[in-house]
Amino acid sequence: MADAVERGITVSEIAPMDQPIGVDPETAAAFIGRARRGPLDVPVPVGSVAEFRRVFGAPFPDGSLGPAVEQFFAHGGRRLFVVRVANNARGAMLCLPAAHGMLVLRDVQPGAAERIRAAVDYDRIPDDDREHFNLTLQRLAPDSRLVIDQEIHARLSCNEDDRAFIGTALATSSIARPQAPLPPGRPLPTAKRDPHDPGYVEPVQPGSDGGELTDYDLVGSAERGTGLFALDQVEHFDLLYLPAPAPGVTPGPAAILAAELYCRRRGAMLVMDPDGDWQDAEDAVAGIRRSGYASPNVLTYFPRVVERDGSKVHAVGGAVAGLLCRHDRQFGSWESIDGSGLELARGLEPAVALSSDEVRRLVKEGFNVVTPARTGRARLEGSVTLARHSHLPADFASLHVRRLCLSMTSAIERATRWAVFEPDGARVARRIRSQVHAYLSWLAASGAFADEQFAVDCDAGLHPGPRDPRQGVTVLLSFRPAGAAERLSLTLHQAVGGCRVAISAFAKSTP
């Protein structure tokens, strides 16, 4: 199912009936943070550090989003969505003189590094037409001033009753929007001072980067689709990471709790950095208990890392996300990270030396631990989630068990969405059983399950006659993940409004 967002309306493309449930070899991550430039509150797919810099510019000197992106790709990540958020950032302002007043345009991508300009002409507009004008908008690279984006809008008008009203024409512009009040007449042509002058108007007010991010900038608004909720535009992602919003600061409880709830709804895992003030294992255990964070959808680690020369301590949430992506590509999300050698780049060492007893204690508390490896690199071990005191099954404290369940339910949810709208219940039940059973068979053959004694059922065909789509469809799963002590039973309830996943005690048992 692919989702497209157009002017606030989300259009969902549903996977066809009987389409095999595919297994995506590439794990997708999403980072949210502050950048110098680029679109705000838009999830931009990024495939390399160079691509990130082309869209979002060079990182802030003390910023954390840029280094996190670099860590991600350096450690094996390939698929990343970046959401730029800001705290009262302002776009550059252009002023185009008109016969009576001024046409003011504001850059839609705020930031001090943004460079835009505009030109007005009356080419191919009849002499007796005193209302219409042509507008050219350009965005320039801040360093070379080469044109990187251009829009040409022909025969615009400042009259709201005109079909070519500028407010409507620029509503989808990626460069600028008009600001009220609009002049009663059209803007004057931008004159060329000499043959080498392109005739463009430069900003009278530069853009601003705004202030340091707060938790509320990261969380954003569900109604406006900002912050976290900008990711509603993405069909699926597996890992979410919030780099430090300001130097020496970790996201606070408001951001962490909102991100965990969002991950729970989207079937994703939140990567959380440890507090920078934790100096030893005792601090980490006391701090995580004091925070109250306890969720199988949160992955955290301790300690941070330090460069080998001792010059700087780093949070490595971006590197952890990249390592998990590489791990999934090579072994599958159902494999423990302890056996796959999740090693950090050379030159990075654990910032805190830990005894074997401290490592065991940290793992028991839900920390994945950064330890020295025999290869001379630091590595991540533990394969645990932060579910230490949650009410969920004990096996959900295992990172690979939880991630297997998340990937399974997400894949099944997307592939069986068609069933909600089918009236023939018996037919729906047969096809869902066949579709999901084939997928589970593939997982079993790949080593995702401890045995082949899995089961799938569907309630769509329980009642005779046509099925009311408003009732939804419930899919029941029973299986034992590799490395799990107990069999798990999950329920997916597909409804018109979305899918709800729960742990069930009534799923079909397997002899």
Express each pLDDT in 183-216 by its tens digit: 999 999 997 766 656 689 999 999 999 999 999 9
Q: How confident is the model at residue 258 (pLDDT cuts 50, 70, 90)?
A: very high
Which residues span the domain enclosing 172?
93-179
pLDDT digits (tens, 9 = 90+) for 454-496: 999 988 766 666 666 677 889 999 999 998 888 999 999 988 8
305 three-class SS: strand
- If asked whether residues 437 and 312 sit together in one domain, one would say no
Q: Which residue has the higher pLDDT, 169 or 196?
A: 169
Q: What's residue 511's pLDDT?
A: 35
My answer on whether 499 and 437 are in the same domain is yes
Place of tokens 């791990």: 327
Residue 484: partners with Cβ closer than 8 Å, 6 or more residues away: 395, 398, 401, 450
Q: 3-state DSSP helix/strand/coil percent for the chain, to nearest 5?
A: 25, 30, 45
CATH number for the domain spanning 288: value is 3.40.50.11780
**Residue 405 included in any domain:** no
The pLDDT score that the predictor gives to residue 508 is: 42
Residues 363 and 278 in one domain: yes
Do both 168 and 254 map to the same domain?
no
Band the pLDDT of 4: cuts 50, 70, 90: very low
Instruction: Decide: 59 and 67 in contact? Cβ < 8 Å.
Output: yes
Say what the pLDDT of residue 2 is.
39
Both 165 and 261 in a single domain? no
Q: How far apart are CA 217 and CA 224, in angstroms?
A: 12
Question: Is the domain of 353 the same as that of 224?
Answer: yes
- Closest by alpha carbon to 56, among 139, 117, 113? 113
- Does residue 359 belong to any structural domain of this protein? yes
pTM score over 0.85: yes
- Which pair of tokens denotes residue 506? 């009534």
- Is residue 355 helix, strand or coil? coil
Centroid of chain to Cα 395: 27
**What's the confidence (pLDDT) of residue 509?**
39
- Same domain, yes or no, for 431 and 372? no
Dist CA 272 CA 285 (whole Å): 15
* Residue where a domain terminates, one of 160, 179, 198: 179
Confidence of residue 308 (pLDDT cuts 50, 70, 90): confident
262 CA to centre of own chain: 11
Nearest alpha-carbon partner for 91 in 52, 123, 118: 118
Name residues whose C-beta falls within 8 Å of residue 229's C-beta, 6 or more positions apart in sequence: 220, 221, 222, 262
Same domain, 300 and 374: yes
Region of poorest pLDDT, from 30-34, 79-83, 198-202: 198-202
Indicate if 46 and 102 belong to the same structural domain: no
Q: How many domains are there within the chain? A: 3
With respect to residue 277, please indicate whether it lies within any of the assigned structural domains: yes
Residue 455 lies in a domain: yes
In the predicted model, is pLDDT for residue 11 greater than 50? no
Domain presence at residue 3: no
Are both 74 and 103 inside the same structural domain? no
Please give the mean pLDDT across all residues of the chain.
89
19 in a domain, yes or no?
Answer: no
Which residue among 397, 427, 449 closes a domain?
Answer: 397
Give me the pLDDT at residue 419, please: 83
Residue 140 lies in a domain: yes
Chosen domain end from 397, 430, 452: 397
Which residues have a Cβ under 8 Å from the Cβ of 427 and sit 6 or more positions away?
A: 461
Whether 239 and 362 share a structural domain: yes
Say if residue 354 is in the same domain as residue 491.
no
Residue 510 included in any domain:
no
pLDDT at 424 over 90: no
Please check the confidence at residue 446 and state whether its pLDDT lies above 60.
Answer: yes
Show Cβ contacts of residue 342 under 8 Å, excluding neighbours closer than 6 positions. Answer: 323, 324, 327, 379, 380, 381
